[in-house]
Amino acid sequence: MSVFAVILCGGSGTRMGAPVNKTLLSVDGEKAVVKALRAFLAETDGAVLVVKEGEQGSFEAALREAGVSVHAIVPGGFDRQASALAGLRALPEECEIALIHDGARPFIRREDIRSVIQSVKEKGSGVMAVKARDTIKEADEKGKVVRTLNRDVLYHMQTPQGFYVKDMLRAHENAKERFTDDAALMENAGYPVHLVQGHYDNTKLTSPEDLPVQNILPRIGHGYDVHRLCEGRALIIGGVEIPHETGLLGHSDADVALHALTDALLGAAGLPDIGHLFPDNDPKYKGISSLLLLEKAMERIREKGFEVGNADVTIVAQAPKMAPHLEKMKENTAKAMGVNVNRINYKATTTEHLGFEGEKKGISAHAVALLIART
Ligand code: MG
């Protein structure tokens, strides 16, 4: 039996506040519509895309770039119902079952598509739905509760919604009202509508809040730095001036820990390293506090849409003892980064008198940082 998907991509996206059609937004490194299409093309005989007038070119380009092809890309109508009908009319003649799907639901699972198809074959319809998890109340216009509905019999409708094409075309022809989904149209036309239990993560990209949840992309970065110890310099580590007979040599305040950390953060963001951003031959940075460099680096990182998950720094020094200063280092660092102090950690180790750190010729620091992208 020939099964096709009709993917609706005509939503205005006004609630998303995005400059592009929300089905063309990137999700998991792929355009939402392409991600949905891959699932449907693996389980059906093909698909028709219904897009807004004038946006055909953008969708053609997106599919070409992704190496995905569909039976047709057609312009939609003035509302969802008209768009679904336009999609049904563009199906090839041999198609018997159509699955109507929102292009803004990229997280649809292949197994759920199979269940919907199975339900149509067995019962004539299959509509993806999930049980209501929150208590739902009915209220009057003034917001006063009229009654509490029985949650056990309430479902949230999702897509895909599958029916026989001939049934759907008949329902569309006879429809006297406008409906918000195909299930309602079919129900009103007297066809039994059977629910298929889906998954809560088959969410629709509707408001900007949907994206951060779905688009979290962790990025890790590593940083390493060494500075030589010499007399006549202050010892500044993690933004803390530590009383000691020697200090670290460098163009800036030579804060080895902050340099390693800044490089870890920049690395996670895919930005050039600290030496590239703040050249050590630039007089502007002579003697500058590395807390300021970290602050500036964080600006660049946030401009790229990243937030800090956490960061961990290890200072390698034979002397002096770092332990009494670690808390203050965390505080200074978190403040410069504009994050909660519980996201920052500092540790210290000696090298048992081995190597340049052990011989007190220098101090090194390692750092790892996790950034979270909100694209
Ligand atoms: Mg350095």
Q: What is the pLDDT of residues 105-148, one digit of tens each?
A: 999 999 999 999 999 999 999 999 999 999 999 999 999 999 99
Task: Using the predicted structure, report yes or no on whether residue 228 has a pLDDT greater than 50.
Answer: yes
Do residues 112 and 180 lie in contact, with contact meaning Cβ atoms separated by under 8 Å?
A: no
- Going from the Cα of 248 to the center of ligand 1, the distance in angstroms, rounded, reads 10
Instruction: Give percent of the chain above pLDDT 90.
Output: 82
Please indicate whether residue 305 or residue 238 has the higher confidence score (pLDDT): 238
- Going from the Cα of 321 to the center of ligand 1, the distance in angstroms, rounded, reads 20
* pLDDT tens readout for residues 83-106: 999 999 999 999 999 999 999 999
- Going from the Cα of 219 to the center of ligand 1, the distance in angstroms, rounded, reads 23
- Going from the Cα of 65 to the center of ligand 1, the distance in angstroms, rounded, reads 42
Lowest mean pLDDT among 27-36, 62-71, 157-166, 354-363: 27-36
Rounded Cα distance between 262 and 11, Å, is 42
**What are the beta bridge partners of residue 202?**
none
- 155-164 vs 97-102, strand pairing mode: antiparallel
What pLDDT does residue 215 have?
56
- Nearby residues of 171 by Cβ (< 8 Å), 6 or more positions away: 185, 186, 188, 189, 191
What is the model's pTM?
0.61
CB atoms within 10 A of CB 150: 10
- Going from the Cα of 263 to the center of ligand 1, the distance in angstroms, rounded, reads 9
Please indicate whether residue 281 or residue 33 has the higher confidence score (pLDDT): 33
Quote the mean pLDDT of the chain: 92
131-134 long-range contacts, CB within 8 A, separation 24+: 131/155, 131/156, 131/197, 132/156, 133/200
Do residues 340 and 309 lie in contact, with contact meaning Cβ atoms separated by under 8 Å?
A: no
Do residues 324 and 374 lie in contact, with contact meaning Cβ atoms separated by under 8 Å?
A: no
Helices (H), 69-216: 80-89, 110-123, 165-174, 182-188, 210-214
Rounded Cα distance between 252 and 275, Å, is 11
- Going from the Cα of 269 to the center of ligand 1, the distance in angstroms, rounded, reads 19
- Going from the Cα of 1 to the center of ligand 1, the distance in angstroms, rounded, reads 67
Ligand 1 ion: nearby residues, β-carbon < 5 Å: 225, 259
Q: Token pair of 50, please? A: 């219904």
What pLDDT does residue 212 have?
47
Reported as a pLDDT band with limits 50, 70 and 90, residue 252 is very high
Instruction: Give percent of the chain above pLDDT 70.
Output: 94
DSSP state of 90: T
Mean pLDDT, residues 244-264: 96
Mean pLDDT, residues 41-46: 98
Rounded Cα distance between 113 and 161, Å, is 9
- Going from the Cα of 314 to the center of ligand 1, the distance in angstroms, rounded, reads 14
Q: Which of 254, 360, 362, 374 is nearest to 309 (CA)?
A: 374
What pLDDT does residue 19 have?
53
- Going from the Cα of 199 to the center of ligand 1, the distance in angstroms, rounded, reads 50
Q: Which residue in this structure is represented by tokens 């067995």?
A: 122
Task: Using the predicted structure, report yes or no on whether residue 325 has a pLDDT greater than 90.
Answer: yes
Rounded Cα distance between 14 and 22, Å, is 9
CB atoms within 10 A of CB 333: 28
